Structure 1
C-alpha cells in the first residue's frame, strides 16, 4: 500500500542460520515446549515469563535520525534520536548474533485489515514464543497472500543480545529502534513481547497520516444496526473489557485506522490484561485463552497448570495474547463504517470526574489531547498518593509526529461524520483512591449502553461547575446520585478541593500545546473561575 519496500531485507542476510519460516500454531507450541521457553496450561495456552522486563521500556526506545524522516518527527523525551552509525553498528551485531543460533523463527503477515492500506511485514525472532505472539497479534495471511509477499517493514527481535551503552549509544542493555529509512525495527535486551506490537503501531502512526488516515489507540466494535463505536483509553481504563460486549461484534481491542471508507483494525489479535480476570466479569476474554494463546507473567499452579489470574506477584501487567478468532462475535475482516459514538475512558483516582459526560467538539479535542488517567499509589516506587498522568491522544509513546496532527484529524472526522463523544470515568467514586470505591462495572456498562443506543442524545444534562462537562441527570440502570460526583462524597468541601486540584493539573498540562486553536483551550477545558 505504501509503495516502499524494505531496501535491505534482513531475511536474506540470515540464510546461514536455521530459518524456520511460517510455522503453524501447533508447530510453534511444540517448539516453545521442546525449547523450554514456556509451559502448557490447563486450557492449552502457553505460559511464559518475560524476566526482568514485564512491560514496555520507553526510555530505551529510539528513532534513527535520517534525512528522509528527521524533519517530520516530534523529537523529545518520547521520540529520542539515535545516529545512523549507531543503528548500523547494532544492526550488524544483532545479525551476527542471530547467525550463531540453531533456530530462527520467521513470520510473514500484515498490519492493517483494510486491504487497500495493508502494510506487509516480516517478524524475525530468536524465541519461538515471540514468533507465536507475532502470529497471534498481527494479521495472518490468507491462502495465496504470501505469493509475492515483500515486507515493507521488518521486526528483528533478539532478546538475548544485550547492548553496551558506552559503545552502542543506548541508555541500557535494552533497545527498541525504528529506522523509517531502512524500514526496520530492531529490538534487543528485553523479552517483553509487547515491544513488537507497539513498534508496528508507532510505524503505522507515522505512515497512515501521510495517506490521509487517522491512526488511533482505541478499541472498536459494531452494533446490530451497523453503528460503530470507538473506545480510547490508557492501560487499566477498561478499553479491552468494555469493547468485548456480547451484544456487539468486536472490530479490535487496541489499534485502528480511520480512513475515508471507515474504521479498520491494525492487528489480527488481542493483547488483554488478565490481572483479576474471571469468566463472570469478562467471559469473552476468559474463554479466548485457549490453545495457541500466550500468557505473559501469569502464575500457574504447578500440578493442575491452572492460571491464577489474581496473583500479581510477578507484575500487575499480566497479559494474554490471542487471535481475534478466539472471540466469538467479531467482524471479519476487521473493517467497518464510520463511528457514530466515540468514548474517552479515564480511570480518575481523584474520584471527581463524572462517571459519564457528553462532550462538545472543543471538549472532545481538549480531552483527546490531554489523554488523562491516574497512576495509583504503590504501582511505582515513590508514588504514595494518586497522581494525574497525561498521555497525548491516549497514546503519546507511539506518536512519532506532532500531537496537533492527530488531534486535527480527529476534529475533522467528528465534524464530517457527526460523531457523538462521551467522557467516561471508570475510576473512583465517593472519594479518592483509598477512601472511595471503584465505579461498578455494571454501572459503566449501563452508561456505555445508553450512549451507544442514543438514549443520552436528548436527555437533560447539568454542567459541571468545575470541569464544564455536560452530565446527564438520568441514565437507565444507574442511580441518579452516582452521576453527580459531589453527591457521592461525604464531605462536599473535600470534593471541591480535590476537583480544583485536578482542574489545575489539566490546565498546567495543556500549556504545552501552543499551536492549538484558542477556542479549544478556552471552551474545552475546566471552567476558569
Structure 2
C-alpha cells in the first residue's frame, strides 16, 4: 500500500503523540484508501464499484455535542448559544491527550488538504483519521494540493471508536466535536458521521473569513455562459441542489461559498449530496457522480443484490454520496465566479401563502436572509401533523460562530456596493396549505429562475402582496399568471388571509430574538399581522 516513507517519518517528529501509532498512511490515493477500507472491513462495494459504509450510531450531525473552546480568542467574539457551547481549555487538553493515547498502536490515515478556491483566502488542513473511509471523504470534499507536501495551519483529528465519559470529560454524551481556535485543532470522537468533519471546517471559516471582509455563505452557486454568477440559499427540501444544477450553466459549488471583494468562490473541492429518491432522470449529474472513488453512506440495497435502493430509508433519511467536483461534467475549475447578479432565497412554504417568486429590496433581503425560513410538512417527522415553520438564521444557523446579525449586516454591505437582484422563491405549496393545495410545479419554478437570470423580470409590472409587502411580477414567461399571486389561488380568501396572518406572526416571533443585537431595522421590514373582519 503506497505511502510517502520520508514524510511518515517526519510526521512522527512533527506530531510526537503519533510515535506509538502502528502505521501512518500518508496522502494515499483514492484507490489505496478504498483497498484499505475493504481490507479493514469498513465497508463494501456496490455494483457500480462505489465504496459504501455505515456510519454507525450517528447518521447525521449532533449539534448539541458541538463545542468551542472558551479562551482569549473566542470569549468576546463567539455567539455563545445552544449551538456554540463553551468548553474550558482544560477539558479540551484532557480529551486531546486521551484521543491521541487511544490511537496508540493503531494504523492511522493522514491527509493534507486545503479549503477556499480563492488563493488569497486559502486555509491548509491536516486531516488525521482512524478509518480509511473518513480519509477518502476528506480527499473528496477538500481541495487537493498540487504539491505533495504542504504546511498545514489547522489539524483535524477524527476517532470514531473513542468514546468520551461525560461524567469526567465534560461532554454531554460519548460523542463530541470540539474546535480550539488557539491551538487550531478540531477534535472529533465517538461518531463516524463524516459530515462532522465538513461542517466543523465550515464553522472555522465562518469565524475567520468575516475578519477579511468575506461573507461566508451556506449556498449553491453557478455561472452562466456570459459569466453571470447566481447563488442559491435554501434549507433541506427547498430545491437548492436541484435548481442550481443546470445543464446550461457551470457549477461553482453546491454548498459552501465565500463572497469576497471581487469574486464568489467555493470553499470545497467536492460535493456531499443527499440522495434519498435519487434517479438518473431527476438528478442526472449526481447519479453520474456515483462512480469509483465516490463514497456512499448508510444506504440500503435491493434484495439479494449490490444495487442501491435509493427509496429505502430504513437506516436514515440522510443517505449521502460524497465525490470530487471533477465528477461533475460542467463544474468550474478553479471554482470561482464573479460577483453575483442574482441571489435566490428558496423556501418550501407548506402554508401555501408566499408567492412563487417575488423581488426583494435591500432591507427585505437582509430580513429574509436573517430569517432563513422554510416549513416541514406533516409526516416528515414523528409528531408533525400540520405544517411547521422552520427558521435557520442565514440558512445555516448551526454553523454560525458569530451572531447571525453580523452576517446579515455583511450581506447588506454587499448589496449597497454591488447592483444585483434578490429574489424570494417559494418551491412549496399553492392554492392552499399542504394537504389542501398542491406543490408548485418544478417546471414553473425552473421557468421563473430562468426568467430572472435572463433579466426578463426586470421590466414587467409588479404588484404588492398585503401582509408580507412582497413585490410580485404580474407576468413571467412560461408560467401561468394566475398562480403568481398566491391570494388568487385559494378558493377561500378568508382562510388565505388567516393562514398568512399566522405565518406572519411566526416570522415576527422569530425575529424578536434579534432586536437587541441590531439597530432594529432588520425586524421592522418583515410581514405585518393585520386584523381580519
TM-score by length of 1: 0.95
CA contact (8 A) 1:202 1:400 kept: yes
Say if 1:377 and 1:167 are closer, same or farther in 2 by CA, change over 3 A.
farther
Give, in whole Å, the separation in 1 of the partners of 2:161 and 2:328: 33
Give 1:44 shift. Answer: 2.4
Say if 1:309 and 1:10 are closer, same or farther in 2 by CA, change over 3 A.
farther
Give, in whole Å, the separation in 2 of the partners of 1:267 and 1:384: 38
Query: 2:120: which partner in 1?
Result: 116
Number of residue pairs the alignment of both structures matches:
518
Query: 1:478: which partner in 2?
Result: 479
Give, in whole Å, the separation in 2 of the partners of 1:430 and 1:279: 31
Give, in whole Å, the separation in 2 of the partners of 1:483 and 1:466: 16
Query: 1:4: which partner in 2?
Result: none
**Aligned pair partner of 1:56 in 61, 64, 67:** 61
**Aligned pair partner of 1:86 in 79, 85, 91:** 91
**Aligned pair partner of 1:520 in 513, 519, 522:** 522
CA contact (8 A) 1:251 1:336 kept: yes
Give, in whole Å, the separation in 2 of the partners of 1:111 and 1:12: 26
Residue 290 (1) aligns with residue 295 (2) = no
Query: 1:133: which partner in 2?
Result: 137
The equivalences for 1:13-52 within 5 A come to: 13-17=17-21, 18-52=23-57
Any idea what SS the aligned residue of 2:363 has?
helix
Say if 1:493 and 1:61 are closer, same or farther in 2 by CA, change over 3 A.
same
TM-score by length of 2: 0.94
Give, in whole Å, the separation in 2 of the partners of 1:284 and 1:154: 32
Query: 1:510: which partner in 2?
Result: 511
Query: 1:257: which partner in 2?
Result: 258
Query: 1:498: which partner in 2?
Result: 499
Give, in whole Å, the separation in 2 of the partners of 1:489 and 1:312: 34
| 1:251-272 deviation digits (Å, cap 9, x = unpaired) | 0000001111211100000111
| 1:463-491 deviation digits (Å, cap 9, x = unpaired) | 11121111111111112222222233333
Query: 1:307: which partner in 2?
Result: 308
The equivalences for 1:172-321 within 5 A come to: 172-301=173-302, 303-321=304-322
Say if 1:314 and 1:9 are closer, same or farther in 2 by CA, change over 3 A.
farther
Q: Which consecutive unaligned segments of at least 5 residues does structure 1 have?
A: 1-7
| 1:30-83 deviation digits (Å, cap 9, x = unpaired) | 112221111211222222212221111001111011112211111111111011
Say if 1:400 and 1:9 are closer, same or farther in 2 by CA, change over 3 A.
farther
Any idea what SS the aligned residue of 2:242 has?
helix
CA contact (8 A) 1:468 1:527 kept: no
Any idea what SS the aligned residue of 1:504 has?
helix
Give 1:524 shift. Answer: 4.1
| 1:111-152 deviation digits (Å, cap 9, x = unpaired) | 11111111000111111111111100111112x2x44x1211
Query: 1:347: which partner in 2?
Result: 348
Give, in whole Å, the separation in 2 of the partners of 1:160 and 1:476: 55
Give, in whole Å, the separation in 1 of the partners of 2:266 and 2:363: 27
Any idea what SS the aligned residue of 2:491 has?
coil
Question: 491-500 or 51-60: which moved more?
Answer: 491-500
CA contact (8 A) 2:505 2:529 kept: no
Say if 1:353 and 1:92 are closer, same or farther in 2 by CA, change over 3 A.
same
Query: 1:365: which partner in 2?
Result: 366
Give, in whole Å, the separation in 2 of the partners of 1:9 and 1:430: 66
Any idea what SS the aligned residue of 2:111 has?
strand
Give, in whole Å, the separation in 2 of the partners of 1:455 and 1:115: 35
Any idea what SS the aligned residue of 1:432 has?
coil
Any idea what SS the aligned residue of 1:20 has?
strand
Say if 1:156 and 1:9 are closer, same or farther in 2 by CA, change over 3 A.
farther
Query: 1:71: which partner in 2?
Result: 76
RMSD: 1.6
Query: 2:5: which partner in 1?
Result: none
Give, in whole Å, the separation in 2 of the partners of 1:47 and 1:139: 22
Give, in whole Å, the separation in 2 of the partners of 1:435 and 1:325: 43
CA contact (8 A) 2:174 2:190 kept: yes
Say if 1:417 and 1:9 are closer, same or farther in 2 by CA, change over 3 A.
farther
Give, in whole Å, the separation in 2 of the partners of 1:403 and 1:323: 30
CA contact (8 A) 1:137 1:322 kept: yes
Say if 1:430 and 1:404 are closer, same or farther in 2 by CA, change over 3 A.
same
CA contact (8 A) 2:507 2:527 kept: yes
Give, in whole Å, the separation in 2 of the partners of 1:242 and 1:80: 34
| 1:212-271 deviation digits (Å, cap 9, x = unpaired) | 111111110000000000101112211111111110000000000111121110000011
Question: 103-112 or 429-438: which moved more?
Answer: 429-438
Give, in whole Å, the separation in 2 of the partners of 1:36 and 1:442: 44
| 1:402-429 deviation digits (Å, cap 9, x = unpaired) | 1121111111111211121001111222
Say if 1:211 and 1:174 are closer, same or farther in 2 by CA, change over 3 A.
same
Give 1:509 shift. Answer: 0.6
| 1:481-517 deviation digits (Å, cap 9, x = unpaired) | 2222223333332222211111000001111112333
Query: 1:432: which partner in 2?
Result: 433
Give, in whole Å, the separation in 2 of the partners of 1:378 and 1:168: 38
